[in-house]
Amino acid sequence: MVEVLADYQLVSNRAAGIIADQIRATPRGVIGLATGGTPVGAYDRLVALHQTQGLDFSNLTTFNLDEYVGLSPDHPQSYHSFMWQHLFSHVNIRASHAHVVSGLAHDFDQACAEWEHRIEASGGIDLQILGIGSNGHIAFNEPGSTLTSRTRVVELAERTVQDNARFFDRPDEVPRTAVTMGIGTILEARRLLLMATGDHKAHAVAVALEGPVTSDVPASALQRHANVHVLLDTAAASQLNSV
């Protein structure tokens, strides 16, 4: 299902509403979380729902999609820090239930296998939040990632490094490798919620939703999932043929 709303604020509020409904329906459930600029508004709104309506995170488990390799959890640009800054510090989630893979593992093969096992042991992800890269990536599954890929260390595409440079003081500080859930891992979530806003996402959204399913456009894999909700603003939807 593709839903187009006027602007970022409406997309954020709608996304937060969907996530809040999921938390209320399965308070002991599991949500997959994304970082980046797109979900910040939705996280702000979830914080407001916690503060004003008592939305309860105390029994919830979360798993984040990805983390930069080489950044410690307390590095200001780590995705661990991002999640605590934008969401976890402001709601009543238990720290031991809020999982962000470490970017500093000694043995990443083992850490990735444990991550997959932990998701499985939690009962699997009920709702996975996703953004999309301007090159069509989901999580850090860059073009060329197989549609059955699992959690692993990947090299970031040059375009992703450039897109993410805005979060760092200097371009050469942007890490070039990351740990990411695989496309196969993501497709196992029971529901997917993809958010995209802005005209710089319009091409990626159009090829992902209306082009062929191909590892050249990792987000096209979502066409293989039976329960996907896509939330777009008008700018991000502007190159779709049918909405």
Q: Which residues bind ligand F6R (CB under 6 A)?
A: 34-38, 65-66, 131-133, 137-139
Q: CB 93 → ligand F6R: shortest distance, Å?
A: 17
Q: Which residue is nearest to ligand F6R (CB)?
A: 131
Q: Pick the closer one to ligand F6R by CB: 35 or 149.
A: 35
Q: Pick the closer one to ligand F6R by CB: 99 or 137.
A: 137
Q: CB 130 → ligand F6R: shortest distance, Å?
A: 6
7 is catalytic: no
Q: What is the dihedral of CA 94, 228, 218, 166, to 10 degrees?
A: -50
66 is catalytic: yes
229 is catalytic: no
Q: How far apart are CA 198 and CA 208, in angstroms?
A: 15
Q: CB 196 → ligand F6R: shortest distance, Å?
A: 8
Strand-by-strand arrangement of the 152-155 sheet: 66-68, 177-180, 152-155
64, 135, 141, 164: the active-site residue: 135
Q: Pick the closer one to ligand F6R by CB: 23 or 100.
A: 100
What are the residue numbers of the active site? 66, 135, 137, 142
